[in-house]
Amino acid sequence: MESVQQLIVCGGCNAKIGPGNLGELLADLPKAAHEDLLVGFDSTDDAAVIKLREDLAIIQTLDFFPTMVTDPYLFGKIAAANALSDVYAMGGEVLSALNIVAFPEEKDLTILKEILRGGAEKVQEAGAILAGGHSIHDQSVKYGLSVTGTIDPNNIYQNNTCQLGDHLILTKPLGVSIITVGYSAEEISEEAFVKATTSMETLNKYAMAIIRKYPITSCTDVTGFGLAGHLHEMLNEQFSAELDSQNLPYFEEAYQGAKEFILTAGGQRNRNYMEAKMDFQIEDFGIEELLFDPQTSGGLLVSVPAEKVAALVAELQAADIPAQDFGTVVEKQEKEIIVH
């Protein structure tokens, strides 16, 4: 096969509008009121859920972004895995997907073919139907999916329903944006880059197949708002959380990179929004940046009753899913997230 041109690195979930600005944008929009709309954008959840009948609802979501790697095929796989993740975060199964494409008119269409090939493979791995899509010309390459899933309306996982005393589990390591930015600047090794991209292209399908066996109380996937931002949504202004920094799952190379001030624009937006809500009881800039780092196709953040956490983590780890129990939901305190 002929060699394919490379893409310019400029985004991933690091390109998301920051949580503070996004909240302001959505605040005054009219809220959809319909008896069958079980989950809408008013709850800042991962996807919309619409009931079709008593035992069946559909999940609707979409996600797309600019490139964060130079390899078009790899970009397609990561972007698709990221979009599919919202369905898994709700506890659902993926039914179908449609491509979303923005592509420069003058660029080699072989690049687009490789992006679409990567995306199609991930949709196929999810066991879903790729049913078409929509494309436009644009100055920069963007790709993602509109995804439809199915779920029992009585078993929806929401992102803001954790309970007092729950433990917090994350199923993928933090730091992928730090690594991709550092790698593009030749400051982080190719070995670290491969570990990060392998994590990003891994479907959350496999973690959810185990998680749904347990009585979890809340679930979301960690993406552009970073772990701190998505945990803020999970706590829902009802609770605080205490985190053990020694149990956080992260890429060691990302931690070292952060300490050397390899930073991302999205991470700084997340810091600006969340820093006042956090109490860092350790002096560790690397850990701070990992908590703010935007994750592209990140892991599932799960809250689970204390008596079930050990069994769930053990089963996830036995399936080669690098999950860690890293925190606890506690009574509301002056600061929302306390890091030990």
* pLDDT score recorded for residue 1: 38
Q: Exposed/middle/buried for 165, CB within 10 Å: 0-12, 13-18, 19+? A: middle
Residues at the binding site for ATP are 16, 43-45, 63, 86, 133-135
CA 150 to the chain's CA centroid: 19
pLDDT value of position 6: 55
Q: Using CA atoms, how far apart are residues 96 and 150, in angstroms rounded to an integer?
A: 10
CATH architecture, domain defined by 167-339: Alpha-Beta Complex (3.90)
Binding-site residues from annotation for Mg(2+): 46, 86, 221
User: pLDDT of 250-262, one tens digit each?
Assistant: 999 999 999 999 9
What pLDDT does 16 receive? 54
Model confidence pLDDT, tens digit, residues 119-162: 999 999 999 999 999 999 999 999 999 999 999 999 999 999 99
Query: Which two tokens mark 299?
Result: 């892991």
- What pLDDT band is residue 37 in, cutting at 50, 70 and 90? confident
Distance CA 137, CA 104 (A): 5
Spatial separation of the C-alpha atoms in residues 13 and 320, rounded to whole Å = 25
Annotation: binding site: 16, 43-46, 63, 86, 133-135, 221
Strand ranges in the chain using DSSP code E only, listed in sequence order: 37-39, 48-53, 56-66, 93-103, 129-137, 142-151, 167-170, 218-221, 239-243, 278-280, 300-304, 324-331, 337-339
Residue-range domain boundaries for the chain: 12-151, 167-339
Q: How many CB atoms lie within 10 A of CB 177?
A: 31
Which fold is adopted by the domain 12-151? 60s Ribosomal Protein L30; Chain: A; (3.30.1330)
Note the pLDDT tens digit of each residue in 205-229: 999 999 999 999 999 999 999 999 9
> Distance between CA 15 and CA 65 in Å, rounded?
7
Average pLDDT over residues 5-9: 51
- Known active-site residue 162: no
